[in-house]
Structure 1
């Protein structure tokens, strides 16, 4: 058997977290001889960015402790699972850096064993065949305040249940006629325990087993069993599955597995401006909104590979996301900055003109061969060994990292680099003005030619000496020698941070396990997210690139000066027809526009919601007033109702911030929750958590904690006795479980502080590992203090006190 290799260095692959603490205790006690983890994607689509964090957490945790990592295809849905998706997922995850050796498994490998366990549960009296409809089953389960009601079929005999299950297996019944349910507890507060479905009828062939099976196991049944069969020790999944753990533990107990695996939940990681539901990604492909699963605008790994993102960048991104029990949506800029940081030291600088404007240098009689560097000084200085990479990948001294560029009489510049009537502050070329050509000298625009429509077509310019002055620098290419190329400019696929809005659909396996409903049917997908697609997210330009790229390897990433990072499209580019796709812009151009768009869309959504909730009844009949007819009456766009104004005043008087009070006053779910809060000095903090941390769960009904239970947590946080990290962690766990936050903190030791000795040790290790950045900080680059702070926080698992850390860094860097 091939186990995950041990790391070759002492630095942890996974920053210390609550799961690594559990693992270390389990190894020290001898509970398990070695660690076994698994990543179980559902092969109903392509691997995507939602898989990156979870898969690397599983893989790196096993690797860090010298254990075993399994890749498992959770192929229990015969209607969606396909070999194409299996192959693509395995290939993309291997590209990402995962190595499972011989430990590649399918859920379908064990269909026979799952069935044997199902019959065992029936014989033990722990499972029964139910014959009610799906709707009736849902009704009989009850709700959060009403216990479940037994199905009329719950007390079938063992013999009758076995007979029915075997006939289900033989294909005697249609889809939905019967299901196999666990017999657990219909009055359990955890609704998951109210007789969950274990098997359902699906009369569809499976891509691996053909027509052999007519029944297929539900996720809550097969997943724990496969963990146990494969010897998994620590089964990591996202916080949404905390209630499912009760079924997991019940199965392990009833079927007598020893040693047995345990499930551990960590906070789910979403990504702004992104959808990772494979159902919705499939919809984008099927409706032609994108060209396919590998369209570079898609969040699939296959698309990001085609875009030119490297696995190193993805691993760096994942390493920046801490492991804790708090759900978190990560700003897409974090991912994009990881891509930029990777490319900055990887991509040589060359020139390309995407929208060419012809310029004639009237006084240049003969071509000039210029030797231009591939790398700017700051990148060379930051190179740890003093060497830089040529496009071929060879590392050389900086003075050798150059290419020849020919300056000819006819050149192309960017059309946007010339303005006949320049705006204030314009620093590029203007009539009679000067500008510096990159590496070639200063030019002055003397004459401008236009066509019949007034469009500028040609500029005549003079090449001046270095004694001339110029404020701006522009790029260019030789009209004679440049290579024609197509440039594809990709933008974010969605223009808002949360395109799925309040009805955000959890990805079916982004954090580990697959999420299947009881009958394992694909749920309907709303098309609402489509309205947030970015217009013109792909723009195509026909221009020119300098000829130095002709002999470079096809996978060379470039920084086209002032344009962004590009590489040759691996699908469409050919030697005789170059196609370059932009991997990413040079800097984040979304920050300001995205904020404005988000505000606009939020206000619009509120107005539309009010049109539905409060239709005008003036001049209507009774049926229309009840909402049975349509309404054309305009809604008041931003004017709160008198009731909302009254709530706003009450909430602010109790201590809520004005912004929080406005949000709560307009939202019935938030208002209902906060009504139960303690009305003392803690109210403002509880209101803040309600709006900023609990909003999604409150709107979906998933929050189990009461507002009154948050007052002690808020009090300790306000007194400085709890770091923000601990408070948020306890809040998230309390919301998911209903347990008092301070009880969770005490039991789990979440507020275990960091000794001054350990803090000092972490600071020394971080500074010793980054001598170049220490030198740069001492030379005046004080912004690096944020980098050092983040590295120490990561090394200490977020346990360092911010004030103590700031003081320790100040002393160490003095």
Structure 2
């Protein structure tokens, strides 16, 4: 499916470039770090990079920026590939890794040393931080900053050969310790990590930093537009400095920044999401309460709804808070078209229809989708005992004194009109069941709304299957949880709960992982069918829009 990227500053830049250089080939990339699952913010970046490339007949690379083996895992690589495919995108040729260029990075580091633009610092991490200074305080040169080229080459070779301990030394760029930009105050380019890498195994014990490897990877791959979020605005200075000092002149990538995604009641920081996992508030990265792509998929969201959401929010440099209702409307619109219709009872109350024969069942032919005959039909049985929602009964059939209202006529959806005339209670005065009578002349009658008090859904007891309904709400109580000092203090205690009820038996003919609209309730995802226990499990995707 093709999606439209609204006119924005990035598209305008590309248009101007193509007017000046009509033969220019557009190459973008999506460069995730394999240290976690992709979230909704990544979906925004995927949407931009892949669709821009498609729009201008270019290519989009998938490159894993795998320069920190201590935080990376092959399982994240697999999940990221799966998420991108699920969203409907195909990367250019083979998957790339920053680790493919480890030998190149090493050579480029040596070039900087030989140009007196890099040195091996023997200060530890804490000492480097202290000497770097602050925005109000200038930095101080490392005592190792003026080592000779030969000394630095020898030390860097020792780093590579495992001579030093982790944190004992590092390679730093020699730029300007008085720079107004902290990132330009001799940033670290290489550090020692004694950890087997998922791609290169134990071949290397020194690893380039993200800032050093990222720009070089872009240049080596011929990326024309390096698109990232505004948090990398300062890094752009180092990005351009490295490419300039390494004499990259042809097809130098241009970095452009857009605002990151901020969504109400949602945290998109990997660090904070990891905290939720560590504290066991969330079970896994693909938990339906997580804002990860795999979490949305498990909950029952469609790829099309997420792409449509990204299309609607657009791309600007201005930070803004996106309303959760916009995401909700995207999934509702998509599910309204693609979902089977069924009836389910979440809090059942039993009704005996006393003037209907006990041994009789009548089958009613009903469309599986009111606007699409391709979904086919189902047969819903009507019998003497049926279930309705307890809240429907309490809200519409009882008065303020909780007494049964007289002559309340109820239209059962697709079926008859009934009148409840008695409540049967147990010894503790809890409702056991209701007694009602049906009007046999009301089946299939049109314009009956004027003659009834309300219309409700129902299920025949004979035609029902027990079910567990799982409900997920936003994890946080505040609209802007990212601004809270401790997100653990604003966890929504009702972010997850279950209900037990019944679903019509025709659901067994629907494949697993299918979306269903339970009429008058919401959209659900058919997660599991336990045939031994004759039990169904469904996740709520989104409720119906309140009128």
Tell me if TM exceeds 0.5: yes
Residue 343 (structure 2) pairs with residue 368 (structure 1): no
Q: Kindly state the Cα deviation for residue 30 of structure 1 after the two structures are TM-superposed.
A: 2.4
Distance in 1 between the 2:280 and 2:189 partners? Answer: 37
Q: Kindly state the Cα deviation for residue 424 of structure 1 after the two structures are TM-superposed.
A: 6.4
Residue-by-residue CA offset, 1:166-207 (whole Å, 9 max, x unaligned): 111111212211111111122222221111111112222212
Distance in 2 between the 1:404 and 1:425 partners? Answer: 39
The answer to whether the 8 Å contact 1:352/1:546 transfers is yes
Q: Kindly state the Cα deviation for residue 349 of structure 1 after the two structures are TM-superposed.
A: 2.1
The answer to whether the 8 Å contact 2:367/2:373 transfers is no
Indicate the SS of the match to 2:529: coil
Distance in 2 between the 1:425 and 1:113 partners? Answer: 81
Q: Kindly state the Cα deviation for residue 212 of structure 1 after the two structures are TM-superposed.
A: 2.0
Question: Residue 464 of structure 2 corresponds to which residue in structure 1?
Answer: 482
Indicate the SS of the match to 2:79: helix
Question: Residue 408 of structure 1 corresponds to which residue in structure 2?
Answer: 383
Indicate the SS of the match to 2:321: strand
Residue 116 (structure 2) pairs with residue 125 (structure 1): yes
Distance in 1 between the 2:367 and 2:464 partners? Answer: 18
The answer to whether the 8 Å contact 2:309/2:330 transfers is yes
Question: Residue 201 of structure 2 corresponds to which residue in structure 1?
Answer: 210
Indicate the SS of the match to 2:172: strand
Once the two structures are superposed, the pairs formed by residues 136-535 of structure 1 within 5 Å of their partners are 136-259=127-250, 260-365=252-357, 366-376=360-370, 380=371, 388=372, 390-391=374-375, 401-419=376-394, 422=398, 430=405, 433-464=408-439, 465-466=441-442, 469-502=451-484, 528-535=486-493
Distance in 2 between the 1:257 and 1:330 partners? Answer: 39
Indicate the SS of the match to 1:305: helix
Distance in 2 between the 1:150 and 1:452 partners? Answer: 85
TM-score (normalizing by structure 1): 0.63
Distance in 1 between the 2:161 and 2:264 partners? Answer: 46
Distance in 2 between the 1:109 and 1:32 partners? Answer: 29
Question: Residue 28 of structure 1 corresponds to which residue in structure 2?
Answer: 19
Residue-by-residue CA offset, 1:422-455 (whole Å, 9 max, x unaligned): 36699x9856533211111221111111223222
Distance in 1 between the 2:186 and 2:373 partners? Answer: 61
Distance in 2 between the 1:114 and 1:20 partners? Answer: 32
Q: Kindly state the Cα deviation for residue 534 of structure 1 after the two structures are TM-superposed.
A: 1.6
Distance in 1 between the 2:354 and 2:313 partners? Answer: 56
The answer to whether the 8 Å contact 1:32/1:233 transfers is no
Residue 535 (structure 2) pairs with residue 543 (structure 1): no
Distance in 1 between the 2:248 and 2:399 partners? Answer: 75
The answer to whether the 8 Å contact 2:41/2:260 transfers is no
The answer to whether the 8 Å contact 1:419/1:429 transfers is no
Distance in 2 between the 1:84 and 1:429 partners? Answer: 59
Distance in 2 between the 1:567 and 1:52 partners? Answer: 21
Q: Kindly state the Cα deviation for residue 285 of structure 1 after the two structures are TM-superposed.
A: 2.6
Indicate the SS of the match to 1:271: coil
The answer to whether the 8 Å contact 2:340/2:516 transfers is yes
Distance in 2 between the 1:16 and 1:340 partners? Answer: 26
Distance in 1 between the 2:129 and 2:123 partners? Answer: 10
**Structure 1 unaligned residues grouped into runs of 5+:** 1-6, 381-387, 392-400, 504-527, 590-814
Distance in 1 between the 2:61 and 2:94 partners? Answer: 5
Question: Residue 535 of structure 2 corresponds to which residue in structure 1?
Answer: 577
Once the two structures are superposed, the pairs formed by residues 563-712 of structure 1 within 5 Å of their partners are 563-569=521-527, 572-575=528-531, 576-587=534-545
Distance in 1 between the 2:405 and 2:278 partners? Answer: 48
Given the superposition, is the C-alpha separation of residues 119 and 242 from structure 1 closer, same or farther in structure 2, using an over 3 Å criterion? same
Distance in 1 between the 2:233 and 2:218 partners? Answer: 17
Indicate the SS of the match to 1:320: helix
Q: Kindly state the Cα deviation for residue 555 of structure 1 after the two structures are TM-superposed.
A: 3.5
The answer to whether the 8 Å contact 1:69/1:103 transfers is no
Indicate the SS of the match to 1:60: helix
Residue-by-residue CA offset, 1:57-102 (whole Å, 9 max, x unaligned): 0100111000010011111111111000000111111100111141
Distance in 2 between the 1:375 and 1:478 partners? Answer: 20
Specify which structure has the higher proportion of helix.
1
Given the superposition, is the C-alpha separation of residues 132 and 425 from structure 1 closer, same or farther in structure 2, using an over 3 Å criterion? farther
Question: Residue 41 of structure 2 corresponds to which residue in structure 1?
Answer: 50
Once the two structures are superposed, the pairs formed by residues 748-759 of structure 1 within 5 Å of their partners are none
Higher RCO, 1 vs 2 (CA within 8 Å, ≥6 residues apart)? 2
Distance in 2 between the 1:475 and 1:121 partners? Answer: 73
- Comparing 182-191 with 33-42, greater Cα deviation is found at 182-191
Distance in 2 between the 1:107 and 1:16 partners? Answer: 32
The answer to whether the 8 Å contact 1:274/1:494 transfers is yes
Residue-by-residue CA offset, 1:316-366 (whole Å, 9 max, x unaligned): 000001211112221222111111111112123221111111111111123
Given the superposition, is the C-alpha separation of residues 237 and 31 from structure 1 closer, same or farther in structure 2, using an over 3 Å criterion? farther
